[in-house]
């Protein structure tokens, strides 16, 4: 009898088996069985790089920066697009292309958050772990950079998402704080360069520092911006960078990952691709389609183009050799891209005159493929140099000027001007005049590369007075249109979120 | 109690004298010793029968031979003799010392024993809402599954059937509380398994349905939709009893559509085209062939046949009992190409020695189903045979071509229809499925103390399913995609293994009774499959090669483990009662389930129930009320509605990083999963009353229930963009549904005369209300499907359709239907349907859909059973009545759309000279928006009253008397004839108002529902 009780108690006890209730899915790799080793860590961070060729990020986002600024415009027959991208009219906050930008950035943040959360527990080489974490922090910082620039007051997701997350809206200032924190973390962990060719395209210390500098500048913290850029301008990192002798080399597929490239997004062709959705199948499009959307009529959709007044800005100064600024034809495809005029300017195999007659439209050229082929398409392969060293130099000069060291700043501007063949600047400018000069330099150096909107906002120049250059600004309301509207989908689901002011 | 020998009893008279003398000397009061035996009416000794001296706590029990002895009994005492399952007897001692007591088996309902999950208690001690079903009544029906046989037999249980051979039924207990799953838990001899079409219903001894938390809570995390407990037959002590039964019947579809023949169709189709100013197609015009007049319903429907053969052998001895049964059931279906066969073998044994009992129940079952293979062009026969045109032959030389070597008649440019030729379907697409299953349990029980026993129970269910499907070369439908022929072999295995330890206790202290069970239960379930497909079948000289290796095309394969989960739980129940008057039951179950993440894995499911037998109170003295008892219970139950791995996020390997100019794999978890996935919860309340009147001849019970499910799983919720989720959206436990209802059951039995009869009636009302649907975005408090809307505050799946309002008789009426001068239906013509502009925006759009109060839920569900018995003849009747629900008749919508379909023979289209009709004008809808609108799918034109009253079963039998039987050497012989689903009274124009629908949210949609068959059968039962 006593024995029976003992047996019963033992068998009862035997049964409290918690681990036996851990049954892992045998049909597919799960979160529980992943994130175990070095190979998993590398695959995890690789997913972040995949965001770069999602259409919201690779196509609509650069368009949103340039067309909504005073250098670009949209006369697209898709009137909703033209209105949202050019005319500051967007009645539907769920408008597809704008929502795509918002979503792709958050998809990238979700990917980065998974790496950041899961990597610390992996047993692997500590140095490699630190580097990969650096890449992840960079991506999160970069995506929040874009969300802060375009939407300002957004939800901060700093942990891998859970379906019940109902975050509050974080004010723009706080989002910038997060951007700076993440990019600083990234810069401290990343190498200057990668030895293995198979790592070409991974983000470098210089890239993180450059974007960190931009972030500081956006919040007018020029002294910290300068500190962030010190390393790659005057410090030990500077030896990694220089300016390409031929400006055009920054925009051709034949000279990718050159010495001027600080942050570059790779695109290659996948001829059998069937979708742009990078999680639906491995056989997806990893090219860029922005060429198709900027392509001039007959080649692409021309959903975006440039405004003529910028051409005039290039013509103010000639080079030392009394020639036209060589950056003009690289930036724009227009009737005088070839100095001899529309009868000589070639546009994808035909002359400008043949295609458009005496039209004075100006098309943005830096993303196009007309240097190698006579069509565009959705599978563009021209890498996007997001930040170039000339941009870094001009940023550095702007910081020096803003912190009262204008005298030091001239050398950096002159270096950029010199590459373009222009004479050094006359010294002795006031801080205000120097800033105006920098604005002009950035216009000539960086138009059509996705920075103009942020530049205008930083300088406080984003207002309806720009309507003289870009009629879209007639609709610009200060205090509202600096930011895009938060998509109504998110507001409907999460009552904690707030719509941006005025929307 | 010492074991008495036979000789002692024989010498009793002399001993009696001795005792009398002894007694005279020892006591002044003459206490005596009595002894005797307790047997049943057949002379079988009853071991363990209680003999109590009335009004005292002195007593004894009979030993294994049924003998007893009791000392110090007053000669004037009364003895209270009782034995479970038998009628108590009170015997006056009157100075006697020897008693041969015979107890009668108690047929009274109240002394019946009921299995309520890990315990067996008397029905009169139940504190909860438990329905008992007599398998003899449910088995009068020839059915595919147990659920199907329960229709109409008890309150609170809704069963919806279908007639396909081997088809499963939809069963709901006390309404539907989940958006995902309404199936109850089945427990067969203590093994948690599924009582589907592989079980032989004739093996069933008793069926209990636990409807509220009182009894069901012991199954905790799986009991929220109710529990059906099935006990299979066991042997009874006695010599071998052999029982053979045979039953065969013919089956047909009681109602078919009345459709046009080819001549009538040609005339109507011609009218239609001419009305639209078009040339009629050649098939009804110039090329009309009077020799082609296909009655498609006739071609596909045939007489079905059922055969059911059962043989069982049972018996037992002093320490063992056995029950063996074998059965074979065949059903040739009422449609061509479909049949079902099942053979089973059951062995139930029980052996005991001393305190130890061991036993097992095992069923081996093998079923074979033949049916057309489900593919993109298999279609639905009850749809296709109505829509298919009578001017198309089943087969014709004109149709022979490379794609259609069989020459099957399908639509063509001259006779357009997209219906499938179902004769072709049965020929081209074939599937044979074999289910081989073993299910059973084995146990060891140790009664190591009086009132304390331990049981170790192991249960097993394993099945191996093999489905071979082929698709031959051919087409079944006009303009269907061309797909290669193929062979598909699908093998799947299912294993479920249960281990339980339980301790049962039972103690009586005077008038206090306490019994209960504590235990632990562990169940593991696994399901896997592999599928191999190869294209390009070989057919040579009329022989079709159906093995994969004989196919010559490309191979594809799939496989995986679709389910693997484990549930582990502690269970306990305590029943206390005082004098059978006040009852209290407490139940608790603590379950852990691997289908949830660690944080959500464990749940606790308690319940409390109480009863008050008011009739035992002194103040209650109504002579004609034999029993009156109130019950109340409250508890929390759960149900798992998830897959085995749903809480685990899977890694997506499709992302690509372009590094070093080449694509490199990126991996991460792309779709969110909900780590908080957990049980759906159901809090149930039950208030009931049971009564028995007029010498237990009239019994009644009533119950009111109120259940609230919380954490009901909702799927397809919109998901915030800031989550960065790609791929599917995770389900969330955010729904809530309330069910309230009233149940009433009454039965009357008259056994006084030679003509014995009984009648039983049950009635159920159920009100269903959606309380929450999850966060679907601001302002959205409903789940929408094509035809229904489940909105907070309304029942689940209410019809949400456009409202029609008669027919426009003339242009003036069309003009009058305007908003501020703008026509609401600008394309309408006289003879078209008028729709109501519900949202007042001046046009008819999806926004004009609305609730109309029409519901797929019945307001009243009833069942009636009648039985009568007279000198060997017996008659039984079962009626089912369902009232107040509305059915959406998709098939009629197709017919009445007038496009590419045959017509109802009583169609009466509107014309300017024929205006008194509800059928709109007929024409070709090409470029005619008015005709397109008339046939709009989501409109209330297709809603019909689904109420019905059906004679579910009638059986007339004759049992031969003993005299004849003895001559034949047989102990029982009965012959009978029965009719099932003989007639149905309903207004519904479709084939059968008993509709299974399209899932939980569209339960009343008749999509070509397979109607229940009418079966007329005869049978024979012989016992040896």
The label of the residue with tokens 């948690």 reads B192
CA distance B996 to B1003: 6
Contact A279 B727 (CB under 8 A): yes
Contact B721 A99 (CB under 8 A): yes
Pick from B666, B673, B722: CB nearest A106? B722
Per the CB < 8 A criterion, the answer to whether B572 and B118 are in contact is: no
Count Cβ neighbours within 10 Å for each residue of B445-480 and write b for 16 or more, e otherwise.
Answer: bbbeeeeebbbbbbbbbebebebbbbbbbbbbbbeb
How many residue contacts between A and B have a Cβ separation below 8 Å? 230
Q: Confidence band (pLDDT; 50, 70, 90) for B9?
A: very low
Please report, rounded to a whole number, the percentage of residues in chain B having pLDDT higher than 90: 62
Contact B648 A277 (CB under 8 A): no
pLDDT given at position B3: 42
CA distance B777 to B775: 6
Per the CB < 8 A criterion, the answer to whether B997 and B160 are in contact is: yes
Contact A49 B659 (CB under 8 A): yes
A27 and B CB contact within 8 Å: yes
Per the CB < 8 A criterion, the answer to whether B667 and A40 are in contact is: yes
Q: Residues of B with CB below 8 A from A108's CB?
A: 724
Calculate how close chain B gets to A256, using CA atoms only, in Å.
Answer: 10
A281 and B CB contact within 8 Å: yes
Q: Which of A433, A432, A430, A456 is nearest to A443 (CA)?
A: A456
Calculate how close chain B gets to A107, using CA atoms only, in Å.
Answer: 4
Per the CB < 8 A criterion, the answer to whether B705 and A196 are in contact is: no
Q: Residues of A with CB below 8 A from B565's CB?
A: 23
**Helix H segments across B276-364?**
296-300
Q: Residues of A with CB below 8 A from B721's CB?
A: 99, 102-103, 106, 487, 489-490
Q: Residues of B with CB below 8 A from A270's CB?
A: 663
| Stretch B696-713: mean pLDDT | 93
The label of the residue with tokens 């004849």 reads B964
Burial of B25 (0-12, 13-18, 19+ CB in 10 A): exposed
pLDDT given at position B921: 95
**pLDDT tens, B774-818?**
888 777 899 888 899 999 999 999 999 999 999 999 999 999 999
pLDDT given at position A61: 97
Please tell me the pTM assigned to this model.
0.78
Contact A201 B775 (CB under 8 A): no
Calculate how close chain A gets to B672, using CA atoms only, in Å.
Answer: 7
ipTM of the complex: 0.92
Please check the confidence at residue A16 and state whether its pLDDT lies above 80.
Answer: no
Q: Residues of B with CB below 8 A from A111's CB?
A: 655, 668, 724
A102 and B CB contact within 8 Å: yes
CA distance A97 to A364: 20
Calculate how close chain A gets to B416, using CA atoms only, in Å.
Answer: 35
Please check the confidence at residue B546 and state whether its pLDDT lies above 70.
Answer: yes
Pick from A31, A108, A279: CB nearest B654? A279
pLDDT given at position B24: 41
Pick from B592, B593, B654: CB nearest A281? B654
Calculate how close chain A gets to B437, using CA atoms only, in Å.
Answer: 25
Contact B730 A281 (CB under 8 A): no
CA distance B99 to B33: 11
Q: How much is the mean pLDDT over chain B?
A: 89
CA distance B1002 to B787: 7
* A158 to chain B: closest CA residue: B723
Which of A108, A493, A495 to substitute to test the interface with B, most B CBs within 10 Å? A493
Per the CB < 8 A criterion, the answer to whether A203 and B659 are in contact is: no
Contact A490 B721 (CB under 8 A): yes
Would you say the C-alpha torsion A227, A230, A236, A237 has a positive or negative sign? positive
Q: Which two tokens stand for residue A237?
A: 């990192």
Helix (H), strand (E) counts: chain A: 19, 10
- CA torsion, points A194, A200, A202, A207, in degrees to nearest 10? 80
CA distance B556 to B545: 18
In SS3 terms, B855-909 reads as: CCCCCEEEEEEEEEEECCEEEEEEEEEEECCEEEEHHHHHHHCCCCCCCECCCCE
Q: Residues of B with CB below 8 A from A199's CB?
A: 659-660
CA distance B450 to B445: 13
Q: Which of B591, B621, B726 is nearest to B670 (CA)?
A: B726
Calculate how close chain B gets to A458, using CA atoms only, in Å.
Answer: 26
pLDDT given at position B6: 47
A498 and B CB contact within 8 Å: no
| Stretch B105-126: mean pLDDT | 76
Per the CB < 8 A criterion, the answer to whether B388 and B421 are in contact is: yes
Contact B667 A40 (CB under 8 A): yes
CA distance A110 to B723: 7
Pick from B648, B675, B775: CB nearest A24? B648
The alpha-carbon radius of gyration of chain B (Å, integer) is 34
Per the CB < 8 A criterion, the answer to whether A242 and A260 are in contact is: yes
Please check the confidence at residue B29 and state whether its pLDDT lies above 90.
Answer: no
**pLDDT tens, A49-108?**
999 999 999 999 999 999 999 999 999 989 889 999 999 998 888 999 999 999 999 999
CA distance B22 to B32: 10
Calculate how close chain A gets to B770, using CA atoms only, in Å.
Answer: 20
The label of the residue with tokens 């024993």 reads B113
* A5 to chain B: closest CA residue: B454
Contact B664 A167 (CB under 8 A): no
Q: Confidence band (pLDDT; 50, 70, 90) for B237?
A: confident
* B650 to chain A: closest CA residue: A30
**pLDDT tens, B552-600?**
999 988 899 999 999 999 999 999 999 889 999 999 999 999 999 888 8
Q: Which of A98, A96, A105 is nearest to A63 (CA)?
A: A98
Q: Residues of B with CB below 8 A from A198's CB?
A: 659-660, 662, 664
Contact B732 A163 (CB under 8 A): yes
Which of A23, A112, A113, A161 to substitute to test the interface with B, most B CBs within 10 Å? A23
- CA torsion, points B520, B524, B525, B530, in degrees to nearest 10? -170
CA distance B88 to B65: 19
pLDDT given at position B23: 43
Count Cβ neighbours within 10 Å for each residue of B43-80 and write b for 16 or more, e otherwise.
Answer: eebbeebbbbbeeeeebbbbbebbbbbbeebebebebb
Q: Which two tokens stand for residue B19?
A: 């005792």
Q: Confidence band (pLDDT; 50, 70, 90) for A406?
A: very high
Which of A:159-188 have CB within 8 Å of B?
160-165, 167
Calculate how close chain A gets to B735, using CA atoms only, in Å.
Answer: 14
Q: Which of B974, B960, B977 is nearest to B876 (CA)?
A: B977
Q: Which of A180, A181, A157 is nearest to A169 (CA)?
A: A157
Pick from B446, B566, B664: CB nearest A46? B664
Contact A163 B729 (CB under 8 A): yes
**Helix H segments across A358-429?**
389-402, 406-419
Contact A8 B503 (CB under 8 A): yes
**pLDDT tens, B204-232?**
999 999 998 887 889 988 999 999 999 99
pLDDT given at position B4: 46
Contact B723 A157 (CB under 8 A): yes
pLDDT given at position A6: 56
Contact A47 B719 (CB under 8 A): no
Residue A101, C-beta contacts closer than 8 angstroms, at least 6 positions apart: A56, A57, A60, A61, A64, A146, A150
Calculate how close chain B gets to A161, using CA atoms only, in Å.
Answer: 5
Q: How much is the mean pLDDT over chain A?
A: 93
DSSP string, B909-957: B-BTTB-S-SB------TT-HHHHHHT-SSBGGGEEE--EEEEEEEEEE
pLDDT given at position A1: 54
CA distance A375 to A380: 10
Calculate how close chain B gets to A58, using CA atoms only, in Å.
Answer: 14
Calculate how close chain A gets to B315, using CA atoms only, in Å.
Answer: 32
Pick from B449, B501, B592: CB nearest A11? B501
Q: Confidence band (pLDDT; 50, 70, 90) for A254?
A: very high
Q: Confidence band (pLDDT; 50, 70, 90) for B414?
A: confident
Contact B657 A48 (CB under 8 A): yes
> Taking phi first (over 0 means left), then psi (-120 to 50 degrees means alpha), and beta for anything else, what does residue B124 get?
alpha
Which of B524, B669, B671, B674 to substitute to test the interface with A, most A CBs within 10 Å? B669
């Amino acid at each position: 009898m006593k024995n029976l009780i003992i047996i019963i108690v033992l068998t009862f006890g035997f049964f409290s088996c918690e681990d036996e209730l851990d049954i892992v899915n045998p049909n597919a790799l799960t979160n529980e069985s992943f994130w175990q080793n070095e190979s998993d860590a590398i695959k995890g961070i690789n997913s972040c790089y995949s965001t770069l060729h999602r259409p919201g990020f690779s196509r609509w986002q650069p368009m949103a920066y340039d067309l909504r600024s005073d250098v670009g415009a949209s006369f697209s027959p898709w009137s909703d697009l033209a209105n949202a991208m050019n005319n500051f009219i967007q009645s539907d906050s769920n408008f597809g292309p704008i929502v795509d930008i918002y979503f792709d950035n958050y998809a990238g943040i979700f990917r980065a958050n998974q790496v950041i959360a899961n990597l610390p527990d992996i047993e692997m080489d500590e140095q490699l772990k630190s580097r990969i974490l650096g890449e992840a922090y960079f991506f999160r910082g970069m995506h929040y950079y874009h969300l802060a620039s375009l939407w300002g007051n957004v939800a901060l997701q700093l942990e891998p998402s859970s379906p019940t997350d109902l975050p509050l809206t974080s004010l723009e200032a706080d989002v910038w704080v997060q951007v700076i924190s993440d990019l600083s973390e990234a810069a401290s962990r990343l190498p200057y360069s990668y030895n293995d060719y198979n790592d070409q395209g991974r983000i470098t210390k210089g890239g993180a520092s450059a974007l960190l500098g931009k972030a500081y500048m956006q919040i007018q913290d020029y002294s910290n911006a300068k500190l962030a850029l010190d390393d790659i301008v005057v410090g030990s990192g500077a030896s990694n960078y220089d300016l390409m002798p031929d400006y055009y080399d920054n925009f051709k597929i034949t000279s990718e990952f050159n010495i001027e490239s600080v942050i570059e997004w790779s695109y290659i062709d996948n001829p059998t691709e069937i979708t742009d959705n990078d999680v639906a199948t491995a056989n997806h499009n990893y090219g860029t389609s922005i060429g198709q959307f900027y392509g001039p009529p007959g080649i692409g959709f021309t959903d975006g183009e440039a405004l003529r007044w910028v051409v005039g800005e290039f013509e103010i100064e000639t080079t030392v050799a009394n020639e036209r600024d060589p950056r003009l034809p690289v930036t724009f495809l227009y009737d005088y891209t070839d100095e001899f005029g529309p009868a000589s300017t070639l546009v994808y195999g035909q002359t400008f005159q043949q295609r458009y007659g005496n039209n004075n439209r100006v098309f943005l050229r830096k993303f196009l493929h007309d240097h190698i082929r006579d069509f565009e398409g959705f599978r563009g392969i021209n890498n996007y140099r997001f930040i170039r060293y000339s941009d870094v130099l001009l940023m550095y000069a702007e910081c020096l000027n803003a912190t009262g060291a204008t005298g030091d700043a001239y050398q950096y501007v002159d270096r950029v001007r010199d590459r373009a063949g222009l004479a050094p600047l006359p010294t002795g400018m006031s801080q205000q005049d120097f800033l105006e000069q920098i604005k002009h330099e950035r216009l000539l150096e960086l138009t059509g590369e996705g920075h103009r909107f942020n530049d205008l906002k930083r300088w406080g120049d984003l207002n309806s007075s720009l309507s003289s250059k870009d009629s879209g600004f007639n609709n610009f309301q200060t205090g509202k249109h600096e930011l895009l509207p938060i998509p109504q989908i998110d507001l409907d689901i999460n009552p904690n979120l707030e719509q941006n002011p005025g929307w | 109690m010492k074991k008495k020998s036979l000789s002692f009893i024989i010498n009793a008279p002399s001993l009696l004298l001795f005792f009398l003398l002894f007694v005279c000397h020892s006591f002044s009061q003459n206490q005596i010793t009595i002894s005797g035996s307790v047997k049943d009416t057949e002379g079988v000794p009853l071991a363990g029968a209680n003999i109590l001296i009335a009004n005292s706590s002195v007593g004894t029990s009979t030993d294994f031979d049924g003998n007893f002895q009791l000392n110090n009994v007053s000669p004037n005492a009364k003895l209270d003799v009782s034995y479970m399952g038998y009628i108590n007897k009170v015997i006056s001692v009157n100075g006697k010392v020897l008693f041969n007591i015979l107890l009668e088996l108690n047929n009274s309902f109240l002394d019946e024993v009921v299995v309520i999950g890990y315990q067996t208690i008397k029905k009169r001690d139940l504190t909860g809402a438990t329905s008992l079903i007599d398998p003899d009544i449910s088995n009068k029906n020839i059915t595919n599954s147990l659920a199907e046989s329960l229709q109409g037999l008890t309150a609170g249980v809704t069963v919806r059937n279908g007639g396909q051979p081997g088809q499963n039924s939809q069963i709901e207990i006390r309404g539907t509380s989940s958006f995902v799953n309404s199936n109850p838990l089945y427990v067969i001899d203590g093994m948690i398994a599924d009582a589907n079409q592989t079980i032989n219903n004739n093996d069933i001894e008793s069926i209990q349905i636990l409807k509220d938390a009182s009894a069901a809570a012991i199954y905790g995390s799986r009991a929220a939709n109710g529990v059906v407990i099935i006990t299979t037959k066991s042997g009874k002590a006695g010599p071998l009893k052999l029982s053979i039964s045979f039953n065969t019947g013919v089956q047909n579809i009681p109602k078919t559509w009345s459709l046009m023949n080819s001549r009538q169709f040609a005339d109507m189709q011609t009218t239609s085209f001419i009305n639209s100013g078009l040339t009629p197609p050649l098939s009804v015009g110039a090329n009309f062939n009077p020799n082609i007049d296909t009655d498609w319903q006739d071609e596909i429907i045939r007489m079905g046949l059922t055969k059911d053969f059962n043989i069982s052998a049972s018996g037992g001895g002093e320490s063992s009992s056995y029950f063996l049964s074998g059965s074979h059931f065949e059903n040739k279906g009422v449609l061509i190409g479909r049949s079902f066969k099942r053979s089973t073998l059951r062995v139930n044994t029980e052996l005991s020695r001393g305190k130890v009992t061991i036993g097992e129940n095992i069923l081996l079952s093998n079923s074979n189903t033949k049916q057309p293979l489900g593919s993109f062009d298999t279609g639905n026969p009850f749809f296709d045979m109505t829509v298919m045109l009578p001017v198309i032959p089943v087969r014709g030389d004109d149709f022979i071509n490379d794609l259609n070597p069989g020459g099957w008649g399908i639509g063509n440019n001259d006779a357009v229809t997209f219906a499938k030729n179902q004769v072709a379907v049965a020929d081209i697409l074939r599937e044979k499925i074999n289910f081989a299953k073993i299910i059973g349990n084995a146990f060891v029980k140790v009664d190591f103390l009086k009132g304390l026993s331990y049981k170790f129970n192991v249960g097993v269910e394993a099945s191996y399913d093999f489905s071979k499907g082929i698709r031959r070369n051919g087409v079944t439908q006009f303009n269907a995609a061309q797909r290669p022929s193929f062979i598909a072999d699908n093998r799947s295995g299912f294993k479920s293994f249960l281990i339980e330890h339980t301790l049962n206790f039972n103690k009586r202290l005077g008038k206090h009774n306490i019994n209960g069970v504590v235990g632990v239960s562990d169940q593991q379930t696994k399901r896997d499959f592999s599928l191999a497909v190869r294209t390009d079948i070989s057919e040579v000289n009329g022989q079709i090669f159906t093995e994969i290796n004989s196919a010559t095309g490309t191979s594809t394969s799939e496989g995986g483990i679709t389910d693997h989960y484990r549930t582990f739980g502690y269970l306990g129940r305590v029943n206390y009662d005082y004098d059978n008057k006040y009852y209290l039951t407490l139940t608790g179950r603590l379950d852990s389930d691997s289908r949830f993440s660690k944080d959500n894995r464990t749940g606790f499911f308690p319940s409390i129930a109480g009863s008050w037998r008011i009739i035992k109170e002194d103040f209650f003295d109504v002579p004609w009320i034999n029993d009156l008892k109130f019950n109340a219970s409250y508890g929390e139950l759960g149900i798992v509605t998830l897959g085995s791995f749903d809480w685990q996020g899977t890694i997506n390997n499709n992302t690509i990083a372009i590094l070093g100019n080449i694509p490199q794999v990126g991996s991460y978890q792309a779709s969110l999963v909900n780590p908080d996935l957990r049980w759906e919860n159901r809090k149930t309340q039950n208030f009931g009353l049971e009564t028995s009147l007029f010498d237990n001849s009239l019994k009644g019970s009533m119950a009111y229930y109120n259940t609230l499910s919380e954490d009901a799983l909702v799927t397809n919720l919109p998901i915030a963009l800031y989550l960065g989720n790609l791929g599917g959206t995770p389900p969330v436990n955010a729904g809530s549904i309330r069910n309230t209802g009233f149940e009433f059951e009454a039965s009357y039995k008259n056994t006084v005369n030679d003509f014995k009869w009984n009648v039983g009636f049950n009635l159920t009302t159920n009100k269903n209300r959606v309380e929450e649907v999850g966060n679907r975005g601001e302002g959205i408090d409903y789940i929408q499907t094509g035809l229904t809307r489940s909105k907070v505050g309304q029942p689940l799946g209410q019809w949400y359709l456009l409202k029609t309002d008669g027919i426009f008789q003339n242009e003036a009426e069309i003009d009058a239907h305007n908003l501020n001068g703008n026509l609401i239906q600008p394309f309408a013509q006289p003879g078209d349907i008028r729709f109501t502009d519900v949202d007042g925006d001046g046009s008819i759009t999806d926004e004009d859909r609305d609730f109309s109060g029409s519901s797929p839920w019945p307001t009243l569900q009833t069942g009636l059973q009648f039985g009568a018995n007279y000198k060997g003849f017996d008659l039984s009747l079962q009626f089912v009545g369902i009232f107040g629900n509305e059915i959406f008749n998709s098939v009629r919508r197709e017919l009445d759309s007038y496009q590419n379909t045959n017509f109802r023979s009583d169609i009466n289209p509107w014309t300017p000279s024929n205006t008194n009709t509800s059928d709109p004008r007929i024409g070709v809808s090409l470029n005619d928006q008015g005709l397109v609108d008339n046939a709009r799918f989501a409109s209330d034109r297709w809603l019909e009253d689904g109420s019905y009253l059906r004679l579910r079963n009638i059986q007339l039998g004759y049992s031969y008397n003993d005299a004849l039987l003895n001559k034949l050497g047989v102990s029982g012989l009965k012959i009978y004839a029965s009719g099932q689903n003989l007639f149905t009274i309903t207004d519904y124009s479709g084939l059968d108002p008993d509709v299974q629908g399209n899932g939980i949210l569209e339960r009343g949609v008749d999509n070509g529902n397979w109607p229940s068959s009418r079966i007329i059968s005869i049978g024979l039962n012989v016992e040896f």
